[in-house]
Structure 1
Amino acid sequence: MPDFQPFAHLTTPNAALYRAVMGTFVRAKRRFVVHLRPEDVQEELAADLNAVSDALDKLKGWGNLRADPDTSRVTTVEDFHRARFLFQLTPEGEAAEQALATFDEALGRRGALQAVALTDIVTQLHALLELARLREPDAAKVHLLLRGLVGRFSDLADNAQAFMGSLQRSIDLHDVDVDAFRAYKDQLIDYLERFIKDLVTTGAEITTLVGRIDEAGIERLLAMAATREAEDTAPGADDSRQAAFERGLVLWRERWLGLRQWFVSEAHHPSQAKLLRSRARAAIPALLQVVSALNERRAGRSDRSADFRTLARWFAQAPDEAAMHRLWRAVFGLSSSRHLTVDAGTLAERDEHPVPPSTPWHEAPPLLISPQLRKTGSFERRGKPNRIVDRTEQRRLLTERAARQAAETELARKRLLTHRPTRLSEVGTLDPAEFSLFLQLLGDALAARKPGRRSIVTTTSDGTLEIRLTALDDGTTAEIRTPDGTFSGPDHVIEILDLRNDEPEEWSA
């Protein structure tokens, strides 16, 4: 048997030409054209006829094509002895092209998150549950329904896997068009959010249906499907019908277990739907990070790793070790410190002979550097030290102010205390200190009240005051007068108690 090498043309220098020639024969077969002449291939590819003829001969030698003598245009003896061939695909060549097409499709497949497939699976599970509840279900309906369910589920799983793979490539910025990514990122995020929502709602329904079908008896339905497939076993086969039935039953059990594990979580094994939902949810912030990274690229920003790579390239390009040391000191700021001497004489010299800003540094006059400052650093001038400022008067004023504010606060606390529930409309007039404390207490009480509750009891942060506030239903409005204006709002019943003193003073309006 000849040693055909139908994939040998993929590793040769002219692989692109060979793939194009084989593609021509595949397209011709789709048009139900069996044979092609070299001129036909050359016309479709618009290539050189000699190159096409050489490619056809090589493909024939590898077993991808078969050559038959072309006698349809023979009119003379010379034409008969001239090599003329009709080429067609061999079974090996056709199988190789189908394998390559499948490979290209799987490699470039973007996939999809099929929310419609979830709805179809729910519909098929409902129908399967109805059959499971029958005493004697129709085996043909059960078989067709299970095949449709497995096919739809396989399509959903394969597309989801391909989509998440393509999404990860987009997130990693591998083989992605930056402008196209910016254009469709919003649509992609919306697409993910809609699928997550459908997966949460529909996935819960699928989980419930799978549990009900298990309770109704899925085993006998799987046995019906396996029995129906075993009936198609050809006579005279090596395996008996019983062996085919057992193999089919094991296969259907594995399919149903896969469907169950895809949607139903177990104790230590989360479902595939849950994992897919987590990956889709995590992909949204990852996409936003990609957008941020693209914006940083567009703005020309660089990260530390890029800086170090550039620095490594500079070191590699340095002509000698001395240049490396200079580069090291310049990059990391490890030069010795220098102190510039600027005194009256230096300033006068600059006024008399100014240096234009456009002067290059190597043409400018040198700057004087103090050797003493370079060795010892800066130091204070010698002479009489500064006098110590007496702050006694300022400290006394601050102490008096703090004592006065504490007394005003304590007086306001006593003024606001009540020994009975009091309406806010009965408060009357408050001075600024009292009103400030009152607003703080009222705000604490309103912040602690929960929706639907009319009364609240709370304490201040220091635990010295207790506030009891109750809303009224009569619709009255309370007004509290202050030197800065009138404060108004819905009337409440308030009671303020001093937890440090059991004898509170009465609130006088």
Structure 2
Amino acid sequence: MNERISPSALRAVPELNYLNAINVARYRAIMRYMYLEYQRLKYWLKPEEIYEGVQTWGILDGYTLDLCLSDLEQLKSWGNLASRHDGGRALSLEEYMRKKSQYLLTPYAIEIERMLESLEKVKGYGGSLETSYFDTIAACVRQVRENTGRMDEGESLRNWELLYGAFKTMHENAADFIASLNSMQAEEMMATDGFLAMKENLVNYLQHFVKSLQRNAYRIEGQLLKITNPHIELYLTHVTEDELSKPRLEEAKSGEETLLELRQGWRNLMRWFVGDEAGQSELTLLEKAAKETIAKVVRSAVRLQERRRGGASRRLDLETVARRFAELDSLEEAHRLGAYVFGLFPSRHLQGEDRRETERSDASTWDEPPNIRLIRSRSRRRAVRGASEPMRNQSAKREAYREQVQEMLAEEQAFVDRMLAYGSVSISELAPMNGKERMRLLQWIGRCTAAASRTFVTADGCIVAVRSPAAGETGVLRCNDGELVMPDYRIEVTRGVLAGG
């Protein structure tokens, strides 16, 4: 079930306006100074304190107290600041005449500055694959299963905070770490020679995580499946009661809203470890992603090693092998040495007809005469242009090809004349055919069935039409090399031109 969203969650956020305003530097300086003072437990600040604190940084030229007061009021109108009247004594006429106020960061503003502070520290995806979180989650789930009805006051809430905190941190860290290994920066680093130095540690780290995932995470899945729905409702109800028992000065969420959030959190936990109707669990996807990352790292390392080997000179090795070959006395020994040194050569497929002197199966390959093949060079260097060659006479080949085409056309015309003599004939009524005639007939049937009119016109103007048989009616096409059982089509061949053609 999808989580419902309230209209208030879709409202505009005016508290973010100061991040893109015209005077963004002034607003951000004020907000950052007040946030730092908030961390020092100083909450209500006077405009003079804020102005002096910002001025000590020396980053705003021409900044005055009046501008600071104007900026504070603007931030207040956006909802970033709250103000109250300052009842202290005025030390000068200017202070007495000016409306005195103190300013406080609102909860929204505190979270925005906290987020900005975190964003400034982001240098990449970060993350890690810590396995200790699985132990924490397993212990908390075991406690839920065994001690839900016997937990002390406040213990259910502590267990939930520990359980969901470990789950959320583990999931976010793992997702960030896997994403970092698939980023463009990681791709570029894997293409450098320095990657080989850290390859082993990275693979061991990933393999250790996968082993722990398989050993502990699936155990957690089994524990979760043993917890019944009434058991879960009782546990979440206790957590809600512990949460509502905390004293709060500001307006808090109702018990129903808190319970709905807890149920959604439990569904997230179940979906991650067990899965749901929509698909497999996040646990399975994480394991698959980790294994794919291991394979990717290994492939990158292999490519780097091959590139290193490819650039190494083997001149001395080849000279040593050449001397060994030169010292041999017989061709048989050379064959034997070649087998040891080079092994089997990569196969190459050469098109052509082999001329063999004998059909004996025990005849050696070395006894066969060579088949000469002209191989085009793959070198990018242009061959030196030599003397011009005379134009070759291809008249004999053209004449042979012309005779071949005329023979094919004569056979096709003979087949058309034969079908014209039939006029209209079914497959089962045809006289026996040879292989070429069968292929032409099947081509005719294919062209007709593919056309909307179920007809086509031959090159010499004959109209060929095919009529489909009744359902299930078959016929036998008799040929010199066998019989073909097929639908008993009726073929009609006439001379003329198609209507509208």
The alignment's TM-score, normalised by the length of structure 1, stands at 0.45
The alignment's TM-score, normalised by the length of structure 2, stands at 0.45
